[in-house]
Amino acid sequence: MSLVTPDFGLLVWMTVIFAILFFILARFGFPIITGMVNKRSEYIGKSLESAREAQQQLAHLSDEQQRLIEETKREQSRILNEAAQTRDDILAEARQQARSEAQAILSQAKQDIEAERESALRDVRRQVAELSVDVAEKLLRGSLSDAEKSDVLIGKLIDEARR
């Protein structure tokens, strides 16, 4: 018996054992193996389908995100425009209020100046009148010391007062 060429009996027994082992595997092992392969195949198919759905949801979310970004930009632009308009309105109102206050202050200052001017004129007139009276008094004292001159002066003053 050589290692390279087996005997006929050995071949028969090897064939019988192979057939029994194949039968046992075909009867009990292969269904389990093919069942596991089928389960694995279904699991892979479900995973691929889930991946496709996730990819579609991701694409939908990406579109939704883009839409929200655009909407947010529009809202931001609207808010900025409203803020700018409000700022302009506030500035215009403040300018108008400052103008009216300045006008009121200017008007009050003009009235105060006019009142001060009138007061100063009254004061000057009063002082001029006092000076005139003082000068007239001194002149009259000097003129009235002589009786004849005083009669002429009194007559002249009465004539002027009648006119």
Say if residue 20's pLDDT is above 70: yes
Q: Name the DSSP letter for residue 29.
A: I
Give the pLDDT confidence of 42-97 residue by residue, as tens digits. Answer: 999 999 999 999 999 999 999 999 999 999 999 999 999 999 999 999 999 999 99
The total number of residues shown for the chain amounts to 163
Give me the helices (H) in the chain, please. Answer: 8-24, 30-144, 147-162
Tokens read off for 56: 């579609």
The model scores a pTM over 0.85: no
Cα separations in angstroms, 109 against 65, 96, 120 = 64, 20, 16
Count of alpha carbons within 13 Å of 141, Cβ hemisphere only? 6
